[in-house]
Structure 1
Amino acid sequence: MAREVTQEAFAAAWADDALVVDVREADEYTAGHVPGARPMPLRSVPNRCDELPTNRPVFVICASGNRSKTAADWMNSRGIDAYSVADGTGAWARTGRPIAAGSHEHAA
């Protein structure tokens, strides 16, 4: 079962340049995402795990925390230190944290 981090723990990690992977669909990502998040739709995760490092934590986020748990499970099974972000991008935005829009990942 995927390990989960709170919004507060994720915000602290994000502020410290954490690697964030957004597993929502492209249109969701484009509408608004955590700045610096790398887009990787859930269906592509099994084939793209080799793009992720195994020597640092990876924070996985989706809309509400469900898809990110599935993705984090896949990543952990492949030796990636992955954590699902509880309550997802929705909670991130509701608490007034920064949101970036557009189809390209933005440097944090």
Structure 2
Amino acid sequence: MTTPIPYRDITPAQLDTLAPGTRRIDVREPDEFTGPLGHLPGAELVPLDTLERVAVTWPREAPLLLICRSGGRSARAAGLLARAGFQHLYNLAGGMLAVREPLPG
């Protein structure tokens, strides 16, 4: 018996398909958030090492998009939040590197 994945990976092209009001939680460090890759509009900076403490007051049913540099930390963050009872979690696959990648053509 396999355990279902507690979050869904989405690509930068799928960002517009998320429900209105989906919170964008960037789990990078402050210098990364303001650095060359920038951040998504409306993103909230919640570094990974503070996430569990900060998220205790968040509604568990609210949709959350987790963002980092390459998708690894945000996947870990999604797993942590899933174990804490959050139900609608999305991981930005490839992170901000994928967002900033030039389009082919």
How does the TM-score come out when normalised to structure 1?
0.76
Residue 39 of structure 2, aligned match among 33, 36, 39: 33
5+ long unaligned stretches in structure 2: none
Calculate the aligned-residue CA RMSD, in Å.
1.9
Name the residue aligned to 1:89.
96
Aligned residues: 95
Q: Do residues 62 (structure 1) and 60 (structure 2) align?
A: no
Between the aligned partners of 1:67 and 1:36, the Cα distance in structure 2 is: 19
How does the TM-score come out when normalised to structure 2?
0.78
Structure 1 residue matching 2:90: 3-state secondary structure? strand
Identity %: 31
5+ long unaligned stretches in structure 1: 97-108
- Greater Rg, structure 1 or structure 2? 2
Q: Say whether the 8 Å CA contact 2:7–2:82 is kept in structure 1.
A: no
Q: Say whether the 8 Å CA contact 2:10–2:90 is kept in structure 1.
A: no
Structure that is richer in helix per residue: 1
**CA 1:2/1:87 → structure 2, altered by over 3 Å: closer, same or farther?**
farther
Between the aligned partners of 1:95 and 1:12, the Cα distance in structure 2 is: 21
Question: Residue type of the partner of 2:96?
Answer: T
Name the residue aligned to 1:19.
23
